[in-house]
Every structure is written in structure tokens, then in C-alpha cells.
Amino acid sequence: MTPPEFAFSARKSAYKLPKAAICVLIVASLFSGLSSAQVLVPPGGASGNAAGYSSGPSADGTGATSGYPSSAPSTTLSPASMGAARAAGLNGAADAAGNQAGAGQATDQANAGTPRAKLPRLGSNQFADFVQETTGRTLPLYGYNLFDGNGFPALSNVPVPANYVLGPGDDISIKIWGAIDVNLNLTIDRNGQVTIPKVGPVTVAGTRADQLEALLKTHIGRVYSNFELSATLGRLRSVQVFVVGQARQPGVHTVSSLSTLISVLFESGGPSATGSMRQIRLTRAGKTISTLDLYKFIHSGDTSADARLLPGDVIVIPPAGPRVALLGALDSAAIYELSGKEETLANLLSYGGGQQILTTPHKVLVERINPAQDKAPRVVEERALNADGLNSTVRDGDVVTLFKISPKFDNAVTLRGNVAKPLRYAYRPGMKVSDLIPEVSALIQEDYYSRKNIMVQYESPRQSLTERTAEGVNYGRDGNIVQNGANRQSPADRASEEGNYGRDGNIVQNGANKQVSADQIINDVKNQLNEINWDYASIERLDAKELRTTLIPFNLGKAIKDKDPANDIPLQAGDVVTIFSVNDLPVPAEKRSQFVRVSGEVMVPGIYQIQPGETLPGLIQRVGGFSQNAFVYGTVFARESTRVQQQDNINKSMRRMESDINAQTASALQNASSADKATTLQAQLTNQKSLLSRLQSLRANGRIALELDPDNPVPPAIALEDGDQIFVPHRPSFVGVFGEVFAESSFIYKPGSTVSHYIDKAGLTRDADTDNLLLIRADGSVEGSARRSSFWSSGVLNKKLNPGDSIFVPGLIDRRTTYTQFMEGAKDWTTLLYQFGLGAAALQTIRN
């Protein structure tokens, strides 16, 4: 029997849609682009003289529950089933079932969930603008981001709720077996009925889904017996509802019959920036069915106010109610809507996630608007997050600011700088510097041990020390460093290859099985520790009354080692103790550990720690003096600080040269009168850039020319520095000649031979610039002829050479080669070599 809340007739429904609603639907469809099939019009037309149905409360009395639309594909009859159906007199139903299956599946796919159109921008409102002007912050509207997703698309293959009420447009799949065997795919017509062959029309609209099988079995059982039956729902009908008021996307929405108030809000984009989140009404036939507070849904997932929708339902979003801004020390700073005219501060905080640990409970500021006060309509109230403050009320227009706790430590002393563990330590009364640093090991940084550990690396057993030495650094005949393969690397460069220092100071190795050269092993024999400045450390102390920082220096060595009361200063809470290394604050040389490297023709080569003020002759004496084959005149003395300055000179010149090349070439190309000239200039530019590339590969060696007497080479009493390198070569037997000569080579040294003798042997080319010859001595000094008015009368050609000396013959300037154009920038060749710290090998690099 049809439930009492439904009144169906075979010809006419007792439910009639109001004419005004029909008109609104038709007009809305015209403006929203809906097809006539999407407009809610009763089957009989605008007059309302057609069948329909009305719905009352669900069986459970709470209203229809929410759910998702289901699209179950229509089933088709098997050949055997079709035969049985025709034999039983159900031929028409079997044919209809086969024809409807494909159409039903296509319709299901079309209704599987169309993506929602792009929503309009949320925008702002007057109160949000007011808060931005007042606080300088743009606060979001709380909860509105809930609707910024892709809407609420329909889902397929979701079970239909048991209390779902059937209506016109729903598809029903019926499977019968036993005495008869047939599958039927039927659609409820506008009269609320399905027609079963031999059985006739059966009214199913208004029936709950869990009651459908019993209803069908009763009607079919009047004609057939000894059968079983299964009935399921396929594609469900669509309904059209209105979303009006302060909606983000108002209008008519066609949705699934399973849609609820909340799902349609998602589909329509929810309230606009001026719409309410807390008083959303669902009305049906002029009566309010439900009032939804979305804050309850957001906070606790409360869907008790949600309701399933019926055709013609109206969702009303009224203007937003009172609003309050909450900002400061909380995660969810936003503009909140109150449920009434006033609400407690505790409730407001609960919307923002509650009181947080980093929020100070002692101070809350409430800026309040009082429109009755014309001259000063705004006041500031101060509250606390105690019982009284939390129970106090906030009202429309309030701006509530929370504050963070102070970062101040109540009982901390900070130790930083060159220490093992820079941390904050707990202060206790009577605490002194020696209590904070109880032993000297607390001043050894952890990366010191990492630097020591990385020295031990796996080496290939096949690689001998001789092979590894061949990869290192050799010294040429002129005493300059000659590099094998790649350019010489600084210790920092080598460190970057072997490992990187992380943020914690530890070295991160780039790979195992690294092969370590002999040169690197020697260079690693040095002080790996950042030495402590024992004479100076400091305490920073804040004077709370004067708000001024006082710096208290003290002698760290006396405080830690000797427990000297004058330096073992009592500490106070909040003090910051800083420990320095000798690199942070340079100390006198006698207070630092310094190492030098001596190699070559000395009796005991090695790494030596030097004493303050020790000189080169004193060190040579300490290592046992020179060997029998020592070529003292060609001693190479290299210093790191000198190398840095020389390299800086090279880099500056390279940048200047690059700028000049670009500027001159651009100007020349603009003024080129012909294509041939432009081509020539372009070729010149290519050559200049090639030279620049070679120059950029040069690395200064830091050599200092000792300018020794070749007949009595006594090392000068130069004071040694940390990192100095001394190399004494064996006595060479050659003299080098290169440049604009026919035979660039090394010639056997003959005592008493002059420059002209070796130039004659090499032979000058026609491009030789004899006015700018260079004589590069084995001791690192350079002699040139550019300062002389006449080279041939200067006597330079008659200068006697020493073993290891080199002669360089440059090309003529008037040839305008790329090489000579670069050299024009220097006052003379001698100045160039002194400024850059280059030797004969470097000049070869420039020329080639």
C-alpha cells in the first residue's frame, strides 16, 4: 500500500508545484543556460495538472540522511534469460531490457560527476578591510576556504542508503529466477510507476529502498509462483534546487537525488564574503526544514542539521552576523562570525584552536567599537586569559590580539665561540667561569676530530709513493714551481675535493677510496686545532635598570687553568660568555703555533715548528744545513700571504682586460667600414678571448725573490711565518731560451757565457723585440732592458748567466698581436712579473 505521505494517481498527482516557482525556474533556466530538460517543470506542464509526489519526514523521524548518488549500470539479459522471458510472455520486457541497457550506461557515465565551474573570487567585506587598515594584516574569513576545492562531484558505485525514497526518474534493476528467469531494467515514470509484463503497472514511488523487493515480490506473486527476486537501484534521478541570498554562486542547481544541504553548499561554492556561515536555512514549501551552523561541521563534523534535498528546495544564505577579528599568537588568525550578538572569549579562542603554549596568559588586548561615542568611538580593553577573562564577552567589531610569551630565559648562561658545545646552560647561584668551563677539553671544537679522522683514507696498494709524488709539485730549472697536469690547488681547494664542512662543523666526505698525494700528506702535517686565545675572553651582561650591555673582559687561561679569582668572574643569569680563537682575534706570533716546510737539498727535509722570531738562516742551520749538491742561489722561498696578494693582482688585471676587450671590440665593430674589416676584428676578438682564458688559468706561487749573490749565496735573515715553504734545488746544468727565437730550448750551461752567446745559439726571428728582453734569474729576480735608452749599449747582452737562468725574447709591439697588446698595459716586463709573481713557465702559458 502506498505510504500515507505519498498520494499517487494513475492520471494525476495530488501534489502541485506553485506556479510562481515554475516561473522562477523557467526564467532561471534561460539565464543560466540550462536546457529545458534541466528545468523543474511538472510532467503535465505549467498548469500543474500532472502526476508528481510530495515527501514528508523519513521513517526515522530525523529527515533523510546524507549520501552520495549511485550509478549502477543497467544489466542486460543473457540469451537464455531472454528465451525464458519470451516463453513466459515477457517478450516486450526482454527486448526493452536489451535496448535500455546501453542507454542507461551512457546516461550513467554522463552523470558520473561533472567538474564544478570555476568559482568567482571570494572578495572582501567592510569589516575585513577595516581590520587590514587597523592592524596592517589581511586576515582570512574563517571557514570560507572549505569551499575552495573542486566542489562535491558525484561518485559512482556507492551504496544507496536503505532509507532512500524512490521517485520518478530512478532506474530499477530486477533479477528473477526460479520458475521464470529474466532480468529487467526499468525506469520509474512520471506517474511513479514501473510496468512489468503480465503483471502490469506497479507504483513504487514513495517506497524506501529497503522495502522495494518486498513490494515487487507481492505484485509479481499474484501472477507467478515458485520464484526468487532481487531488486537494486541503478541510475538515480536528478533534482533541481535553489541557492539564494549571499551565496558565492547563487541560482538553480541540478544535483543528484541523494544530495544534501551540505553537499549542495560545496557544489555552489558556499557563502560569499558577506554571507553567513552560521545561519544557513533550508526551506521547503515556505517552511524552514533545517538551520545549519557550518562552524559545528568544521569543528566536530556535526551533520545533525544536514538534510536530504527534494525538488524545489531553497537554500537561503543570509548576510553574515556579528564578526570579530582574532590575531596574534595563534595558528588560526582570522575573522570569525559570532553565533549571536555576543559570545565568550573562550568560545572565540576555541574556533582558533584554543589557548596555545606560546601565548602569554597575562595580556590580551580587545579593541572595541562604540558607535555612540562620536568623538572617540574606539576604546582598548586589557584582559587576561584567566577565568574572568575567558568568560568575558566579545561582540561585533572587536579586534582581539594575543601576545607571545617572552623569549627571555630565567636561569640561563650562554656559552659560545670556539668551544666544544656552544649552548645555553642552567645558571645556579655562585656560578663562575670555571664552573661553566670546568676543563680545557671543553674548548676543543668537535670538527677538530673530524679533520683528524679524514686524514686517514684508503690508498690503492698498487700506487707507490713515487707515483704519487709524480702527481704532486716539481720545481723547474728556473726555480719556479712547475705543475704536473692541473693547476696547483690551495689547501682550501684540496679540502673541497676531499670533503665539505657541514653546518655543524663536521666534514662530510665525498667518497671512499680516495688516493692521497704525497704533497697533500705533507701539507696535512700542520696544526689542525683552532688555537684558543688564552689571554682574552669576554662576558656580555645586560644592565636591567639602565638597559645597557656591559662587556667584561677576562684572561681565559688564568680563569680556567689557574682559577685566578680576579679572572674567574662570578656569573649572573643572562650572561653571554664568548671564547675566541687566535684566528678570531690575531695574537702575537710568539703565542701561536707556526709551521714551515723545508724540502730539497737540505740535510733533514721536513715540517718544522718555528720559534718566535726565527729566521731563514737559523732554520737552515737547525735542519743540518745544505747538502753537497744544493743550488743555494736558486732557493725557492714561497709565502702564503704573498701568494694571495699576487693572485689578487692577477684577478684584477683579468677583469680589467676583459672589460677593455669588450669595449674596444664593440667600438671597432661599429666603426668597421667593410665586411672584411669586421671579419678581421671578429677574429681578433676570438684571439683575445682565447688569451684571456689562458691568463685566467694562471695561479700565483707566492715566491719571494731572495736576490742572492751567485758567487756567495747566503740566505737573508728574513723572519719566517706560518705556512712558509722553502725548497732548495740541486745544481742545474742548463740555461733556457724561449720567445721569438728559432730554437726554443735549454742549452748546456757554460761558466762565463753571456746572454748574447745563448741568443746566438737560439737565433732571433724577425719579430724579436730586442729592446724588451727579459733575463729571469734562478733566484726569482728579473732583469730587463726596457728602462735603458739603448739595449745594445746597456751591456745586458754581456751579462753573465748562472745555471738555471732563463732568457725571454718578446715579439714586436707594432705587430699588434693579442699577446703584446695585453703586455702594453704594464710599465715594463719586469714590473709585470714582480706584481703577478710569475715565472718563465707562466710566460710560456701566455704566449701559447
830 has pLDDT over 60:
no
- Determine, yes or no, domain membership for 68: no
- 194 and 297 in one domain? no
pLDDT at position 783 is 80
Task: Return the SS3 of 302.
Answer: coil
Q: Crossing angle of helices 91-110/79-87, nearest 10°?
A: 140
In 150-209, which residue ranges form alpha helices assigned H by DSSP? none
pLDDT, average across residues 654-674: 72
Q: What share of the chain is helix, strand, coil (3-state, %, to 5)?
A: 30, 25, 45
Return the beta strands (E) in 392-531 as ranges: 393-395, 399-404, 412-417, 423-426, 473-475, 481-483, 499-501, 507-509
pLDDT, average across residues 417-428: 91
Overall number of domains in the chain: 7
CA dihedral (644, 645, 651, 654) positive or negative: negative
- Determine, yes or no, domain membership for 727: no
Percent of the chain at pLDDT > 70 equals 68
160 Cβ contact list (under 8 Å, min separation 6): 67, 70, 209, 233, 236, 258
Q: Of 206, 233, 260, which residue constitutes the final position of a domain? A: 233
Strand order through the sheet with 323-328: 334-337, 323-328, 399-404, 359-369, 378-383
Query: How far is residue 385's CA from residue 404's CA, in Å, rounded to a whole number?
Result: 13
**How do strand 280-284 and strand 287-292 relate by DSSP bridges?**
antiparallel
Tell me which range, 103-117, 138-152, 432-446, is most confidently predicted by mean pLDDT.
432-446
pLDDT, average across residues 195-217: 94
Q: Are 207 and 233 in contact (CB under 8 A)?
A: no
Residue 660 banded pLDDT, cuts 50, 70, 90: confident
206 has pLDDT over 50:
yes
320 burial type by CB count under 10 A (0-12 exposed, 13-18 middle, 19+ buried): buried
- Determine, yes or no, domain membership for 132: no
Query: How far is residue 91's CA from residue 99's CA, in Å, rounded to a whole number?
Result: 12
- 843 and 741 in one domain? yes
pLDDT at position 365 is 95
What are the grid coordinates assigned to 427, written together?
645558571
- 477 and 337 in one domain? no
Q: What is the mean pLDDT of the chain?
A: 75
144 has pLDDT over 60:
yes
Q: How far is CA 235 from CA 65, 100, 159, in A?
A: 19, 12, 12
Residue 798 banded pLDDT, cuts 50, 70, 90: confident
Query: How far is residue 657's CA from residue 677's CA, in Å, rounded to a whole number?
Result: 23
pLDDT, average across residues 46-55: 35
Task: Return the SS3 of 258.
Answer: coil
- 479 and 458 in one domain? yes
Buried b (16+ CB within 10 A) or exposed e, 136-156: eeebebbbbeebeeebbebeb
- 330 and 228 in one domain? no
- Segment 354-391, tens digit of pLDDT: 888 899 999 999 999 988 887 888 999 999 999 999 99
- 542 and 435 in one domain? yes
- Determine, yes or no, domain membership for 601: no
586 burial type by CB count under 10 A (0-12 exposed, 13-18 middle, 19+ buried): exposed
Higher pLDDT, 277 or 836: 277
- 362 and 301 in one domain? no
- Determine, yes or no, domain membership for 390: yes
Q: Are 630 and 601 in contact (CB under 8 A)?
A: yes
The residue among 579, 559, 556 whose CA lies nearest residue 568 is 559
pLDDT at position 522 is 54
The residue among 793, 800, 752 whose CA lies nearest residue 775 is 800
Q: Of 278, 307, 336, which residue constitutes the final position of a domain? A: 307
pTM over the 0.75 mark: no
Residue 543 sits in a domain of what CATH number? 3.10.560.10
- 502 and 364 in one domain? no
pLDDT, average across residues 790-818: 68
pLDDT at position 475 is 41
The alpha carbon torsion through 23, 27, 32, 37 (nearest 10 deg) reads 50
Q: What one-character DSSP code corresponds to residue 432? A: B
- Segment 602-638, tens digit of pLDDT: 999 988 988 888 999 999 999 999 999 999 999 999 9
Q: Residue 516's domain spans which residues?
A: 446-523
Q: What one-character DSSP code corresponds to residue 683? A: H
Q: Crossing angle of helices 675-696/640-670, nearest 10°?
A: 170
- Segment 488-520, tens digit of pLDDT: 343 334 333 333 433 333 334 444 344 555 555
- Determine, yes or no, domain membership for 606: no
- 505 and 362 in one domain? no
- 515 and 375 in one domain? no
Query: How far is residue 533's CA from residue 550's CA, in Å, rounded to a whole number?
Result: 21
Residue 57 banded pLDDT, cuts 50, 70, 90: very low
Residue 71 banded pLDDT, cuts 50, 70, 90: very low
- 564 and 434 in one domain? yes
Largest CA distance in the chain: 141
63 has pLDDT over 60:
no
Stated as kind and residue range, the H or E segment containing 776 is strand 774-776
The residue among 467, 459, 345 whose CA lies nearest residue 394 is 345
Q: Of 218, 233, 248, which residue constitutes the final position of a domain? A: 233
- Determine, yes or no, domain membership for 119: no
What are the grid coordinates assigned to 226, written together?
515458485
402 has pLDDT over 60:
yes
455 has pLDDT over 50:
yes
pLDDT at position 426 is 94
- Segment 307-366, tens digit of pLDDT: 989 999 999 999 999 999 999 999 899 999 998 888 999 999 998 888 888 999 999 999
Higher pLDDT, 433 or 488: 433
Lowest mean pLDDT among 281-285, 391-395, 524-528: 524-528
Q: How far is CA 212 from CA 88, 195, 196, 368, in A?
A: 23, 14, 14, 61
Query: How far is residue 69's CA from residue 66's CA, in Å, rounded to a whole number?
Result: 10
**Cα 532 vs. chain centroid, distance in angstroms?**
37
- Segment 800-809, tens digit of pLDDT: 889 999 888 8
pLDDT, average across residues 165-179: 93
Query: How far is residue 650's CA from residue 836's CA, in Å, rounded to a whole number?
Result: 6
pLDDT, average across residues 774-779: 86
Query: How far is residue 701's CA from residue 639's CA, in Å, rounded to a whole number?
Result: 8
pLDDT at position 153 is 57
Q: How many residues does the chain have?
A: 848
**Amino acid sitting at position 778:** A
**Amino acid sitting at position 557:** G
Q: Are 269 and 286 in contact (CB under 8 A)?
A: no
pLDDT at position 73 is 33
pLDDT at position 575 is 95
Percent of the chain at pLDDT > 90 equals 38
pLDDT, average across residues 458-481: 40
Query: How far is residue 443's CA from residue 441's CA, in Å, rounded to a whole number?
Result: 5
- 422 and 557 in one domain? yes
CA dihedral (666, 670, 673, 674) positive or negative: positive
The gap between the terminal CA atoms of the chain, to the nearest Å, is: 108
The residue among 86, 84, 302, 269 whose CA lies nearest residue 178 is 84
216 has pLDDT over 80:
yes
The residue among 266, 259, 25 whose CA lies nearest residue 144 is 266
Stated as kind and residue range, the H or E segment containing 537 is strand 532-543
pLDDT at position 519 is 55
Report angle CA 534, 537, 541 to the nearest 5 degrees. 160
- Determine, yes or no, domain membership for 484: yes
729 has pLDDT over 90:
yes
**How do strand 393-395 and strand 342-344 relate by DSSP bridges?**
antiparallel
What are the grid coordinates assigned to 224, written together?
507467478
pLDDT, average across residues 828-838: 48
**Cα 760 vs. chain centroid, distance in angstroms?**
68
